[in-house]
């Protein structure tokens, strides 16, 4: 464990807590993409399959349970909670996210480190996580008024993978044979997808204006 990975995990945890806070306290998911939440639930379900077979540390297992629990409960809230589901803008959240799942699965079947069931699904989760934010970014561009909590959620979610990139550089420099091109490229693509959001987020923060993405 290094400071970059810890910062990444804490940023990721913060993003999930901000979203749960928003949904649980103000009982609203306005501006939040259910498609992205469903993709993230699939990402964690396929990434953490080894939770029962391999144990790294209490921290590792605990965080996996938190990410699994929070992502599935957010999907449950947005689909079935009587008050929250009414605030979900179904008409705007129309990204065909299943069109993201299939190519990621095919790519994982083609490019992976080992051709085993767990490894292919784990690689699939890396590819899927890289593009999972797309429905949310599209939704943000459609809904003009982005409330602070949703903006902070996306900002923290984008930031965590950036810390992971620093973690991979650190591990590459300090651990012999730590080379994982698939993880690195997927993580880089994921972070780059946030580039324009980050630009507009900082602009709104600097000029103390409401966050508005260009249509």
* Binder of another protein out of 27, 85, 142, 180 (CB under 8 A): 180
* Binder of another protein out of 64, 81, 85, 142 (CB under 8 A): 64
Closer to another protein by Cβ: residue 176 or 214:
176
With vertex at residue 125, the alpha carbon angle to CA 120 and CA 129, rounded to the nearest 5 degrees, is 150
Single out the residue of 195, 47, 185 nearest to residue 125, CA to CA. 47
Residue 73 CB contacts under 8 Å (≥ 6 apart), including other chains? 20
Only segment of 73-81, 96-104, 171-179, 203-211 that touches another protein (CB under 8 A): 171-179
Residue 9 CB contacts under 8 Å (≥ 6 apart), including other chains? 63, 160
* Binder of another protein out of 3, 103, 144, 178 (CB under 8 A): 178
Q: What phi-psi label fits residue 89: left (phi over 0), alpha (psi between -120 and 50 degrees) or beta?
A: beta
121 binds another protein (CB under 8 A): no
116 binds another protein (CB under 8 A): no
* Binder of another protein out of 60, 73, 87, 212 (CB under 8 A): 60
Distances, alpha carbon 89 to alpha carbons 18, 32, 33, 82, 128, in Å: 19, 8, 8, 14, 23
CB atoms within 10 A of CB 131: 20
* Binder of another protein out of 88, 95, 122, 155 (CB under 8 A): 122
* Binder of another protein out of 7, 26, 27, 50 (CB under 8 A): 50
Residue 129, CB-side half-sphere exposure with 13 Å CA sphere? 27
Only segment of 76-84, 145-153, 165-173, 193-201 that touches another protein (CB under 8 A): 165-173
* Binder of another protein out of 177, 195, 207, 208 (CB under 8 A): 177
Only segment of 18-26, 53-61, 96-104, 207-215 that touches another protein (CB under 8 A): 53-61
CA distance linking residue 53 with residue 72, whole number of Å: 21
# binding residues, another protein (CB under 8 A): 25
Q: To the nearest 10°, the Cα dihedral for 33, 119, 123, 15? A: 40
- Interaction site with another protein (CB under 8 A): 5, 9, 12, 47, 50, 54, 56-57, 60, 63-64, 67, 113, 122, 164, 167-168, 171, 175-180, 183
């Amino acid at each position: 464990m290094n400071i970059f990975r810890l910062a990444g995990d804490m940023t990721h945890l913060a993003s999930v807590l901000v979203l749960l806070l928003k949904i649980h306290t103000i009982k609203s998911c306005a501006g939040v993409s259910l498609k992205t939440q469903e993709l993230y639930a699939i990402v964690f379900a396929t990434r953490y399959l080894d939770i029962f077979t391999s144990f790294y540390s209490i921290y590792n297992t605990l965080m996996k349970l938190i990410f699994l629990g929070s992502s599935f409960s957010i999907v449950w809230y947005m689909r079935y909670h009587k008050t929250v589901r009414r605030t979900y803008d179904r008409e705007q959240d129309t990204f065909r996210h299943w069109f993201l799942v299939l190519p990621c699965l095919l790519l994982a079947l083609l490019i992976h480190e080992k051709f085993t069931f767990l490894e292919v699904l784990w690689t699939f989760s890396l590819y899927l996580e890289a593009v999972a934010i797309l429905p949310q970014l599209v939704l943000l561009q459609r809904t003009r008024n982005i409330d602070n909590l949703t903006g902070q959620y996306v900002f923290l979610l984008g930031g965590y993978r950036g810390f992971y990139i620093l973690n991979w550089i650190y591990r590459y420099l300090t651990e012999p044979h730590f080379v994982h091109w698939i993880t690195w490229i997927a993580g880089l693509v994921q972070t780059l997808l946030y580039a324009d959001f980050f630009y507009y987020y900082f602009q709104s923060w600097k000029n103390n204006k409401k966050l508005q993405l260009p249509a």
